[in-house]
Amino acid sequence: MLKLNVKNETSRLRAVVLGTAVSNGPTPSLDEAYDPKSALHIKAGTYPVEADMVKEMEAVAAIFKKYDIKVYRPELIEDCNQIFARDIAFVIDDVFVKANILPERENELDAIQYVIDQVNPAKVIRPEEEVHIEGGDVMLWNDYIFVGTYREADYADYIVARTNRQGVEFLEKTFPHKKVKSFNLRKSQTNPRDNALHLDCCFQPIGTNKAILHKEGFLEEEEYEWLLNYFGKENCFIISKEEMYNMNSNIFSISEDVIVSEKNFTRLNTWLRDNGFTVEEVPYAEISKQEGLLRCSTMPLIRD
């Protein structure tokens, strides 16, 4: 049996699902692109190739091995993008929540069924159909659940809006002992520099009291200000639009003082080291072309 335990983003990681880029399928056509960044690279002919992405993910797997973390990989589905394990499910405390994802991604959940089978069935839940919620929008911080959403009336028109009002209400109802705080995110189907696909594209807590933040990712300035004040300005690393586009907030914590980061994030990685973090650098620039990075491709199961 797997005894799930995830209460925040930074406690020592013991078990994780890491996606896979093997048999990723051909480059999608433009009308198959789920997000504006993928579309941009499909158009430019710079969409990432499988061999490069496999190499990048193996670099992460090697770091997990170095830190003695139990790693589960999805079973292989031919020609299917299975990189982004965070989208399809997430763990809160000891509860495994299956996400209601885009219907064509349903088989990605089947590919980790062997992991779900090791969890107490009473602790595996799936919200009702009208509840939209993805793991990239759900950020655990001890007593808090921070959740990214899109509250505007045109929600249904945006394939890049992944968590709705019902998703926020579902978390409030299911985890009444937590304080659920939602953030209205900026969405764009066409401009990746104006699109916060998930909350972890414009915010992530690190260490015990620090955070990475991108102001323009938030539609309502007071919600951004709330986070800035909660963590304290001096504890926040503020990223630019270009750094947001390159996914600087989408790094991944192995513990309160060890962070896996992309090797090109020079400014961020320097700041992290200056603030006492050990930074494990990996190449992940190819995967980032699909508007996802390290947090998106990992789904923690157990943190101490």
pLDDT band at 32 (very low <50, low <70, confident <90, very high): confident
- How much is the pLDDT for 290? 84
pLDDT band at 273 (very low <50, low <70, confident <90, very high): very high
What is the 3 state secondary structure string of 3-70? CCEECECCCCEEEEEECECCCCCCCCCHHHCCCHHHHHHHHHCCCCCHHHHHHHHHHHHHHHHHCCCE
Name the token pair of 68: 């003695």
> For 34-72, what is each residue's pLDDT tens digit?
788 888 888 888 999 999 999 999 999 999 999 999 999
- How much is the pLDDT for 181? 98
- How much is the pLDDT for 156? 82
- How much is the pLDDT for 275? 98
- Mean pLDDT of all residues in the chain? 94
Percent of the chain with pLDDT over 70: 100
pLDDT band at 177 (very low <50, low <70, confident <90, very high): very high
Burial call 174-186: b when 16+ CB within 10 Å, e when fewer? bbeebebbbbebb
Name the token pair of 17: 């699902």
- How much is the pLDDT for 133? 92
In one-letter notation, the amino acid at residue 28 is: P
**CB-neighbour burial class of residue 271 (10 A; exposed 0-12, middle 13-18, buried 19+):** middle
pLDDT band at 250 (very low <50, low <70, confident <90, very high): very high
- Measure the CA–CA gap between 198 and 201, rounded to whole angstroms: 5
pLDDT at 82 over 80: yes
Cβ neighbours of 193 (radius 10 Å) = 14
> For 191-203, what is each residue's pLDDT tens digit?
778 888 899 999 9
Counts of helices then strands in the chain (DSSP H, E): 9, 15
pLDDT at 255 over 90: yes
Across residues 5-11, what is the average pLDDT?
98
Displacement of CA 183 from its chain's centroid (Å): 15
**Domain covering 13-303 assigned CATH 3.75.10.10 in the classification:** yes
pLDDT band at 158 (very low <50, low <70, confident <90, very high): confident
Burial call 125-150: b when 16+ CB within 10 Å, e when fewer? eebeeebbbbbbbbbbbeeebbbbbb
pLDDT at 149 over 90: yes
Domain boundaries, the chain: 13-303
- Measure the CA–CA gap between 285 and 282, rounded to whole angstroms: 9
Across residues 226-251, what is the average pLDDT?
96
Indicate the helix (H) or strand (E) that contains 283: none
Sign of CA dihedral 242, 245, 247, 249: positive
- How much is the pLDDT for 270? 98
- How much is the pLDDT for 31? 82
Contact 204, 251 (CB under 8 A): yes
**CB-neighbour burial class of residue 103 (10 A; exposed 0-12, middle 13-18, buried 19+):** exposed
Sheet bearing 124-125, strands edge to edge: 89-92, 95-98, 124-125
In one-letter notation, the amino acid at residue 248 is: N
Indicate the helix (H) or strand (E) that contains 207: none
> For 110-146, what is each residue's pLDDT tens digit?
999 999 999 999 999 999 999 999 999 999 999 999 9
For residue 17, which phi and psi values (nearest 5 degrees)?
-95, 125
- How much is the pLDDT for 39? 83
Q: Nearest Cα to 34, choosing from 140, 154, 148, 158?
A: 158
pLDDT band at 160 (very low <50, low <70, confident <90, very high): confident
- How much is the pLDDT for 89? 96
- In sequence order, what E strands does 73-143 have? 89-92, 95-98, 124-125, 138-141
